[in-house]
Amino acid sequence: MNGRYGRAAALIASLGLVVPGGMAASSPARSSPDEDARIVHALNRLGYGPRPGEVEKVRAVGLERWIQLQLHPARIGDGALEARLAGYRTLSLSVGELMKGYEVPREVKREIQKKRAEMGEDASEEEVARARREFMQEYAGSMQQMRGRPRQVVEELQAAKVVRAVYSERQLDEVLVDFWMNHFNVFAGKGPEKFLVGAYEREVVRPRAWGRFEDLLKATARSPAMLFYLDNWLSADPDAEPARMARRGGGFRRGGRRLPPGQGQGRKRGLNENYAREVMELHTLGVDGGYTQKDVTEVARCFTGWTIRGLRQDEPEFVFDARIHDRRDKRVLGHPIEGGGQGEGERVLHILATHPSTARFISTKLARRFVADEPPAAVVDRAAHTFRETDGDIRAVVTAILTSPEFLASGSRSVKVKTPLEFVASAVRASGARVTDARALARRIGEMGMPLYMQQPPTGYKDTSEAWVSTSGLLARLNLALDLAGGRVRGVEVDAAGLAPGARDVAAMAAALSARLLPAGLSEPTRRTLQRESGLDAARVAGLLLGSPEFQRR
């Protein structure tokens, strides 16, 4: 703990910030109930909820300064996070390395299928285990080149997201990266996408999360992850001559079953409107942003030839293939676009990024994430104005939202229902748990209906309350609350009693735990429920608090 506060103090000193009363840990500044409520609110919205002692820490820095710091994550040291992620070894591997090391060889895959079919459904566990052993011996040669199973790649990505949400000091950075990953959603369950997603987050989204929207949009458009997910890599001029098509062997492995569905032999290639539609509907203009089906088709024609080289072979990369590009002139949202190769797509992205509908659509979505399901019009107007004035400067837009009076107003507090990721991360943070392996936590988030990186539709996960309120989801939350507090989640250590040190009676313990876990205060029914507690069982009380209606909100 000293280390962390030491770093915080050093950081604050290096920024030239004046810390009232010196070190945050030793001497909290004066507290007022409303100021603390604002701090809790900010910790819930800019990040994944308060950790023990964090309200005091922010109070010491000053809330406005803390928000400014979060808006400039590069100024926040986050070295300890890297050490926590080091155990997940697939995170730092390139796409090619992942494909080489974690994809089951084709011939082995086929044999496994055959074996399973032979054994049938009635095989006992022992039989299956024996067959597995024999199989591993038989194919030891082919499997030796594998460093792990394909599933491991997704599991580690999911775990890393949880670790970052729990431990990163750059909380707002993590929230914003998550926002953009959801906005520009891809689905790790679609064929080789699982090998592309990590690099997509690391190299495409994260470095541009705070930059110009247009740069982020263009980078996603060229990413193998997006090109594959929304099928643009398959899109070709339908009138491209077969001879022209045939020459396009390049980086593709043809005829094998590794080709994605729809790319089998004997199928005429043609225009694929998938990306063209989603880039307008979901990434920029919004569904009512003023485009027509004709625009979709024209945009699709502009993007013909935007494809992937080296998928499944080496390091996949964007390539423009002029041979399958539709060279005729187009017209998009009223703008004439002269047939001119790769530049057409770039031009389209510029038109979309600078369109007023985009400014409003992105601003609304950000305001929904940070303020309310139905964000106040004033906040959206201000953010959209900033978007237009700054040429889509994301940091400026987020700043406009987080510094608007509506953001900190009491009416905005606790109005959002936490998503499963937010709930789990905030419960772990609040309880001061130590996470040594986040995979079990990530699985729990999946059971609550939010399997990370596994949202199939391009819409991403919803950011409104009703999407996360269901019986199965609530039950999963209550059980996680009980398991977490009781120390029954694998890879997570928690000391519930330690959250209420020295409490001699139930009332004192409940009061201490409430202050820790729900610093914004308890509802009357929750308070009454705790009053009925008779045993000195900190895990139980902590479980009730983490499962309470108010903890489901932020």
Distance (Å, rounded) from C-alpha 306 to C-alpha 246?
17
Q: Which stretch binds another protein (CB under 8 A): 44-52, 150-158, 211-219, 480-488?
A: 480-488
Site for another protein in 284-303 (CB under 8 A): 287
* DSSP class of 201: I
Residues 107-126 that bind another protein (CB under 8 A): 110, 113-114, 116-117, 120-122
Q: Nearer to another protein by C-beta: 256 or 501? A: 256
Piece of 30-38, 205-213, 451-459, 499-507 that binds another protein (CB under 8 A): 451-459
**CA angle in degrees (0–180, nearest 5) for 342-346-348:** 115
Residues ≥6 apart with Cβ < 8 Å to 276: 232, 296, 297, 299, 300, 302, 303
Closest CA to 165 of 148, 178, 150: 178
Kindly tell me the burial class for residue 43, based on how many C-beta atoms sit within 10 Å of its own C-beta (0-12, 13-18, 19 or more). buried
CA geometry: angle 94, 164, 396, nearest 5 deg: 95
- 401 within 8 A of 362, measured Cβ to Cβ: no
- Give the nearer residue to another protein in terms of CB position, either 86 or 475: 475
Could you say which of 165, 370, 552, 554 contacts another protein (CB under 8 A)? Answer: 552
Residue type present at position 74: A
**Span from 210-218, 382-390, 494-502, 532-540 in contact with another protein (CB under 8 A):** 532-540
Choose which of 11, 474, 515, 536 interacts with another protein (CB under 8 A).
474
Among residues 459, 493, 501, 508, the one that binds another protein under rule CB under 8 A: 459
Contact criterion met (CB below 8 Å) for 541 and 497: no
Convert residues 156-195 into a mask of x (bound to another protein by CB under 8 A) and - (unbound). Answer: -------------------------------x-xx-----
Q: Is residue 185 a contact partner of residue 220, using CB atoms and an 8 Å limit?
A: no
- Reduce the DSSP state of residue 216 to 3 states and report it: helix
DSSP SS3 for 42: helix
- What 3-state class would DSSP assign to 170? coil
Spatial distance between the Cα atoms of 133 and 113, rounded to a whole number of angstroms? 15
Rule CB under 8 A: choose which of 13, 136, 475, 507 binds another protein.
475
Measured from the CB of residue 545, what is the shortest distance to another protein in angstroms?
Answer: 10
Q: For another protein, which residue of 451, 453, 461, 517 counts as binding (CB under 8 A)? A: 451
Contact flag: residue 343 with another protein (CB under 8 A):
no
Of 539, 535, 406, 546, the C-alpha closest to 480 is 546
- The secondary structure element, H or E, covering residue 106 is helix 106-119
Binding mask 405-424 for another protein (x = CB under 8 A): ------------x-------
Residues 211-270 that bind another protein (CB under 8 A): 231, 257, 260-262, 264, 266-268
Interacting residue with another protein among 53, 339, 486, 521 (CB under 8 A): 486
Contact residues for another protein (CB under 8 A)? 110, 113-114, 116-117, 120-122, 187, 189-190, 231, 257, 260-262, 264, 266-268, 274, 277-278, 281-282, 287, 417, 446-447, 449, 451, 456-459, 462, 465-466, 469-472, 474-475, 478-479, 482-483, 486, 488, 523-526, 528-529, 532-533, 540, 543-544, 547-549, 552
